[in-house]
Structure 1
Amino acid sequence: MADEAKNNVQEPEKKGTPFLVKALIIATLAILVVVISTATAFFVATKISSKANNQQELVQKDTNVDSVEKIEYGQTAYFGDYTVNLNEDNPRYLVVSIYFEYSPKIKAKELEKIKAEVETNKVILQDRVISILMSKSIADLKADNDFIKLRELIKDEVNKVLGKEYLINIRFSNVLIQ
């Protein structure tokens, strides 16, 4: 028994792995869990982001299909109200307000000079416009549903008098055929 007591004193009992080794294993596992969860979150976020971008591109493509080309209009100037007899056997007349639409490429200073030139030649321009309007019959105006030919005739005649292609369109308002 005495020998057994000596053996107990000389050799301490082993209780398993030391505390430091356990702490290192737990820390390694914790770091591994954090790295894996971060990588998973990054992967999921990039997938969701790419799906959102694809959907946004599809929406943009859809809206581009429906988009309309923007038309650039020039400045308009009132030219006058006209009441003229039409080219008919029975007395018929046309009442219309006319506006000149100038090219949008014309600069402001040049536009003022052109308007002054229109004012200087107003009697000649009115004579030409009235002659064109009076040469039309109701059948002509009905056939020219949107007055496209009439607009072109007046525009061309005004541009001839002015000497350059200043007008891009003629605008009508208050049109009445009686």
Structure 2
Amino acid sequence: MADKKEKGNGHRLQIIIIILLVLILIFGLAFGGYMIFFRKDSNTASADTQNTKVLNPAASEISPFTYSLDEFLVNLSDEGGKKYIKVKIYIGYTAKDEKKISAELEEKKPILRDAINSVLRSKKSTDITTEKSVSDLKKEIINRVNPYLEYATVNNIYFYDIIVQ
């Protein structure tokens, strides 16, 4: 009787070890597959980023300095005037003269905000739905505000929050 009990315990132990080994093998294969898949996606993403830099250097460039233009709440030009955009915007810029740019940005903040307000007011809600349309909006804002600045060049627009309703 003791022999049957020992054989039963030994058999159970073997089954438990086999199950654990199979689970470890499954998790190992799953992890390996995930790493291969993830590594493939990151290479694709970096290739996409490189293509973006070639097509649109302003949108992919990281600016050394940023300045908050605060929050904008603007009616869009949709029919009926019931749509609006709420967005917090930071401009990214390169300073030509770091000492003078802070004063210039503070002094010209109302002018910059007005320029951006006029760009936003001219848009419809459908103009801000895709990544390309948002990229085009950023380019338009950059082109609108750059002429106002003497000691800096705006090279990117960062939307901190954006809501279209």
Shorter-chain TM-score category?
A: 0.5 to 0.7
Aligned to 1:80: 70
Q: Find the aligned partners of 2:143 and 2:76 in 1 and give their Cα distance.
A: 21
Q: Scaled by the length of structure 2, what TM-score is found?
A: 0.57
Aligned to 1:95: 86
Q: CA deviation at 1:144?
A: 5.1
139, 156, 161: which is aligned to 1:169?
156
Q: CA deviation at 1:115?
A: 2.4
Q: Which amino acid aligns with 1:84?
A: V
Cα 1:95–1:167 shift into 2, 3 Å: same
Structure number with larger C-alpha Rg: 1
Task: Tell me how many residue pairs correspond in the alignment.
Answer: 107
Cα 1:166–1:92 shift into 2, 3 Å: same
Q: CA deviation at 1:164?
A: 6.3
Aligned to 2:108: 121
Q: Scaled by the length of structure 1, what TM-score is found?
A: 0.53
SS at match of 2:79: coil
Aligned to 1:111: 98
- The structure that is strand-richer by fraction is 2
Aligned to 2:137: 150
Q: CA deviation at 1:165?
A: 5.7
Cα 1:72–1:173 shift into 2, 3 Å: closer
Cα 1:93–1:162 shift into 2, 3 Å: same
Q: Which amino acid aligns with 2:108?
A: N
Per-residue displacement from partner, 1:50-98 (whole Å, max 9, x unpaired)?
xxxxxxxxxxxxxxxx6x68x7541212111000000111311000000
Per-residue displacement from partner, 1:98-155 (whole Å, max 9, x unpaired)?
001112xx37xx2241121121112211111100001000111125546111111111
Q: Given that residues 142 and 156 in structure 2 are in contact (C-alpha distance below 8 angstroms), is that contact kept between their aligned partners in structure 1?
A: yes
Aligned runs of 1:31-50 on 2, under 5 Å? none
SS at match of 1:147: helix
Q: Find the aligned partners of 1:116 and 1:141 in 2 and give their Cα distance.
A: 32
Q: Which has the larger displacement, 147-156 or 160-169? A: 160-169
Per-residue displacement from partner, 1:3-31 (whole Å, max 9, x unpaired)?
xxxxxxxxxxxxxxxxxxxxxxxxxxxxx
Name segments (4+ residues, structure 1) moved above 6 Å. Answer: none
- The structure that is helix-richer by fraction is 2
Percent identity, aligned pairs only? 31
List runs of 5+ in structure 1 lacking aligned partners: 1-65
